[in-house]
Structure 1
Amino acid sequence: MNSYNEMAQILDRLGFSDFYFSQISNVQSQVDFGKRKGKIDFTSIKSAAEQYTYESSGKYSVNIDRQLGALETTPNNELILQCVEVFDWGGVQASNIIDAINLHRKNELKPYLAECKSWFEDDHNLVVDLNNINWSSGWTKVFSFMFELTTIYDSRVAAYINYIFASYFDSLESVEQKSELTLITKHLVSFKGTGTRVRCLNSELRRMLGINMKSPDDKRNFKANKVASWFLRYLCKLEYGEVTQANFRQVDKAMFMLGFDIKQIDCSAPFE
């Protein structure tokens, strides 16, 4: 698999949409987000998106529902400010800010982001042939705010995507079908959870699906971020009937909410 269309054809051929609408789209769940946010009841993917909550002050000009301006016409001085603000909004300042500043000082920030944008928005290529790439929980947010149809690929989003695929894999009857699904899943990664929140696919399912743990291998993380974005675009088409940036972001937000603690969604899920 090396393109969005190939991924979509695999899922179409396997009949993924039937599973999605019967097992995922309208499944009800309740998640306890802790003392400050409390328990939230979800009745569907759309419900999870509509109840998206992320703590941030009113000081930020960046907003998850608003894409940043065109990269090509954004002045360099504004571009570095946007990166720093996104890092701060996401609470992921460590090392990301200095990496962005160093790129800016060498007049390489805009060319770097333009190169990344071209790659992420190319539906026909999964080969990561970029040089000196940076991928982190901070940079994925910058990419998502600046590029079209690109997910914020963090531990919560990855957890729920992996939950969907693990559940679907279990529902498939033939070895051939399961093998075909791994043409997609082998490009993804699993993140460790927190001390009390379960987000990591267990080792047996990681082996069966070909999913590796997130590692310092930025090329693999780039590829996983892109395939996850393609999958959310596919879900967006199923859920909303058309793919727009606004609809895509709704699915992105739903994954974030539902991936908080997989064991609260499904206590029997193969996560640890």
Structure 2
Amino acid sequence: YTMTASGTDIWNQSDEFHYAYKTLTGVGSLVARVESIDNTNGWAKAGVMIRESLEPGSIHATMVLTPANGVSFQRRIIADDVSTSANSATGDEVAPHWIKIERDLAGNFKAYHSTNGSTWTMQGAPENIQMSSNVYIGLAVTSHDAALTCQAVFSNVTTTGTVSPQWVNQDIGIESNAAEPLYVAVSNNAGVPAVVVNDDPAAANIDTWTEWVIPLQAFADQGINLTNVDRIAIGLGTRGNMTVPGGSGKMYIDDIRLTKPASEPQQQP
């Protein structure tokens, strides 16, 4: 599992990080081996987390590994309140290193770390945190610097308890684009524009350079004369909808070009 994240921190009254999670009901645990973490800051964090909600100020219990400060058992026991931690006594723990977080029936959370995944050392003391029965359990990464992106690699990720099958990814507390579709419209003075919408309804959230190839026939099929086009528009949201405000954010578009379709290879006699 390779994850990237920015974010100021998982700390204080509100968190900023990237979360890959499942849902957990009742008792459960999560184990992972942190193979590597970028040193964007000595307190950048790659961790295993149990969290009551996806709000930035949620109650949580998290065991993290850092680039320069070893391991730390961090938690927030009251929503939107201060965070507390049990930090490494030496700061010597570095990737690759194993970490684990678990919740028992009484609501006690325990955090562990290990060099080999079989002999475990408890980090700090157990903490009783009253969370709902249904919570989120997953992998968390923050760069501890909103201007930088931190990459962390996890392996040997295992869970116990009643856990949902599918992973879900999202930023927590980090402002990002509203989830909106992307479209291209071509038009001329003779009629209604022809519009093609990207297949991804949340295209505004794509954060890597992604090629989108649109066959010209997709416009021609809508009745527009492609030899007489005087305007091309690229937009987000639902074109022509002036009653619903659009979202906010930033998106980069580059290298717009018109090319001939690749010719079919000729068969050899």
TM-score scaled by length of structure 2: 0.20
TM-score scaled by length of structure 1: 0.19
Q: Which has the higher strand share?
A: 2
Q: Which has the higher helix share?
A: 1
